[in-house]
Amino acid sequence: MPPVSPTILGYVLYWPIFDPIVFQIWLKVFVDPVKWTPAKEGWFKIGSPTVEPEPGKKLITPSGKKYDSLKADDIVFVSLEGRYDEKGLQPSSEWRFHKDIYLKKADAKAVVHAHSPHATAVSAHNKDIPAFHYMIALAGGDNIKCAKYATFGTQELSDNIIEALENRKACLMSNHGQVAYGDNLNSAFELAEEVENICHQYINAIKLGEPKILSSSEMDVILEKVKNYKKG
């Protein structure tokens, strides 16, 4: 299991390009230069000895509450084991796949999930997006995969998303939307925005027929070139 942080923050943002789509963003904050590794449930080991800091938690928006009426006190604490105060508001039903992305992806420090219009439209066809444009590479591969459908909020959905994110930082979610992650809040958000743009372009491109698909060898070149894209 990759290193995890004792602190994870959650945010809700509105963004014009996806209006009125709400982004659920969970920002993972590392305590540098400390490396936290799990010792046992609810505990973390920092070298030696074992210590019990603020247990590994994330903050997430509550389920069933209008976002424009949220207050700071409404935000729900959820542990990395999925525990929360059942006497308070319930966490978003999608907490599982956010948690699993953080646990499975060592470089995930922020996750964006959205029902953005064009990504959702493409996801309704349960198809991967091929390399019709080189910017596909920003998601980490030579296509953007579409995770198999499962009911929202289930472990099955989370498992499907993790499978679709193999060697990638973004994927579609069949009949649902999209998810993207990054090494900071801005990069995760920008990638989600780029996925939405790509889906919009793809919808327009296929109106004229099947677009030309870039070769695997060309995408290998592109994938190497985008490693430092928008860095610095």
Can you spell out the DSSP letters for 189-201?
A: HHHHHHHHHHHHH
Question: What DSSP state is assigned to residue 62?
Answer: B
From the CB of residue 148, how many other CB atoms can be counted at a distance below 10 Å? 16
Give residue 199's pLDDT band: very low, low, confident or very high (50, 70, 90): very high
Please check whether residue 2 lies inside any domain of the structure: no
- Strands annotated E in 115-151: 146-147
Domain of residue 12, CATH code: 3.40.225.10
Q: State residue 72's pLDDT score.
A: 74
Domain that includes residue 53, residue range: 7-228
Q: Which whole number is the average pLDDT over 92-112?
A: 86
Q: Is residue 32 a part of any domain in this protein?
A: yes
Q: Is the pLDDT of residue 167 over 80?
A: yes
Predicted confidence band of residue 28 (pLDDT cuts 50, 70, 90): very low
Is 1 contained in some domain? Answer: no
Amino acid identity, position 227: K
- pLDDT higher than 50, residue 56: yes
d(CA 212, CA 181) in angstroms, rounded, equals: 28
| Full-model pTM | 0.73
Domain count, the chain: 1
pLDDT for residue 116 is more than 80: yes
Q: What is the mean pLDDT of the segment spanning 197-226?
A: 97
User: At 37, is the secondary structure helix, strand, or coil?
Assistant: strand
Please check the confidence at residue 81 and state whether its pLDDT lies above 60. yes
Q: Is residue 47 part of a domain?
A: yes
Instruction: Let me know if 218 is a catalytic residue.
Output: no
Is residue 215, in this structure, part of any structural domain at all?
yes
Nearest CA to 168 out of 176, 178, 156 is that of 178
Of residues 2 and 57, more confidently modeled: 57
Catalytic residue among 54, 94, 163, 210: 94
Contact criterion met (CB below 8 Å) for 146 and 226? no
CA atoms of 72 and 61, how far apart (whole Å): 10
pLDDT tens-digit series, residues 132-159: 999 999 999 999 999 999 999 999 999 9
Specify if 217 maps to a domain. Answer: yes
The answer to whether residue 73 is domain-embedded is yes
Closest listed residue to residue 57, CA positions, set 87, 26, 88, 33: 26
